[in-house]
Amino acid sequence: MSIQVSPINPVSTVALERSTYLSHLLDLAKATSNEIAWLQEVRDHAVLRVQEQTFPTTRDEEWRFTDLSDLLKLDLVTAAPADATAAELPEATHRLTFVNGFFAPALSSIDNLPDGLAIGNLSSLATEAQSYLGKQSGAEEVFTALNTAGLTDAAIILVRKNAVIDTPIHLQFISSASQPALIQPRILVVAEANSSVTLIEEHGAIGETAYFTNSVSEIWLAENAQVNHTRVQRDSQTAFHIGKTAVSQARSSHYTANTIDLGAKLSRHNLEIYQTGEQTETVLNGLVVARDQQLSDTHSTIALTKPHGMTRQLHKCIIDHRAHAVFNGKVYVPKAAQLTDAGQLNRNLLLSPKARVDTKPQLEIVADNVKCTHGATVGQLETDEIFYLQSRGIDADSARKLLVNAFAYEVLAQVPIDSLRQSLIDHVARS
């Protein structure tokens, strides 16, 4: 008697593999412990959210150009504390440093805080964090929920009502893994009414061991608050980095983001802005520099639900060799958001015939009394410009670098700290 064996469905096999891997990530997250009762409830709820979802594939519209298959090859373990050295910014008097997701008091500087400012981690600011942590819109997204499911600590910045903090606050996240590890940094920023603060968020690495960083930042702006936020990602070239920045803006608040993505084998940044009051202002500046076979994906969402909102977004990509950049920028303007003024521009510079960019600026407008524009450009260095510089005595290689630096500088000029800005300019010049 012969037995008929049905062929294996490759789609089902891939789905099973990804489901198993997501379960493994969730087990790693659940293995971390905490001693805060209310936080355990937040974590348990996030576990349920993860269990209801699937690991993203290129069949999902939001992940169509970003294949996570290489991440599945990493046999990850739970991150452990490690030694590291902090890189100080001279202009930033106060600093919070985390190594492999663990707070490093010896590398931090939280003494002599000005009036109206509280910074620290969960052990010192748990009561103040309870009303905000895990409460942003978009918390159900699979990687955001995974971060919350393993939440044990966070970098916390509280700026009290009417406080104006003149010096920047440095948030430093260092990866120093001896074996592939799951590292899940968390940030909570609360800017109360009429307050102002400048934040520098840096992600970097010691060594070249592959790892997976899954970071989440929640930023709350109360009425008339101002937050200037610079986020720099310089992870190891073998690393995987998925980050979420979720921002809630109340009436007349102003949020500026300068996002610079330079590192990681594969990186993805989800930047989400939620307007909860009228007359908000949002400025988003982004720069991606990708080379070799890097993949850098930026997805932004600006949800304007109230009248008189203003947004400006400029996102630039410099792509070389076989690198691949992705930009998907969404702006939602429902009927209630009359008199909205939104502008979005994505500009891409390809330095190699094999470099690739997929860009999708996206406006969804229902309101009829608005001013909304968007656009995207993809180009190479102009031979006429190179020739002009050569005619002035500059060699061809230097001419190309000069033009690339000029392309990047429009974004880098917005970085509010001189030492960091120069460091980033130097990095682009060396790329």
Beta bridge partners of 187: 155, 217
Mean pLDDT of 194-220: 96
Asked whether 201 and 230 are in contact (CB, 8 A), the reply is yes
What are the extents of the domains in the chain?
A: 13-277, 383-431
Q: Would you state the pLDDT for residue 11? A: 43
Q: Would you state the pLDDT for residue 207? A: 86
- For residue 9, pLDDT over 90 is answered with no
Q: Would you state the pLDDT for residue 14? A: 63
Q: Would you state the pLDDT for residue 128? A: 93
Helix (H) or strand (E) holding 94: strand 94-99
**Given pLDDT bands bounded at 50, 70 and 90, which one contains residue 362?**
confident
Write the CA distances from 365 to 74, 82, 110, 309, 359, integer angstroms: 42, 49, 45, 13, 19
- For residue 398, pLDDT over 90 is answered with no
**Given pLDDT bands bounded at 50, 70 and 90, which one contains residue 2?**
very low
Mean pLDDT of 190-201: 98
Task: Look up residue 70 and give its DSSP letter.
Answer: G
Q: Would you state the pLDDT for residue 87? A: 86
User: CA quadruple 409, 207, 257, 417: dihedral positive or negative?
Assistant: negative
Asked whether 185 and 101 are in contact (CB, 8 A), the reply is yes
Mean pLDDT of 91-98: 95
Mean pLDDT of 289-298: 97
Write the CA distances from 297 to 175, 266, 300, integer angstroms: 21, 8, 10
Mean pLDDT of 102-116: 95
How high does pLDDT run on average in the chain?
93
Mean pLDDT of 262-281: 97
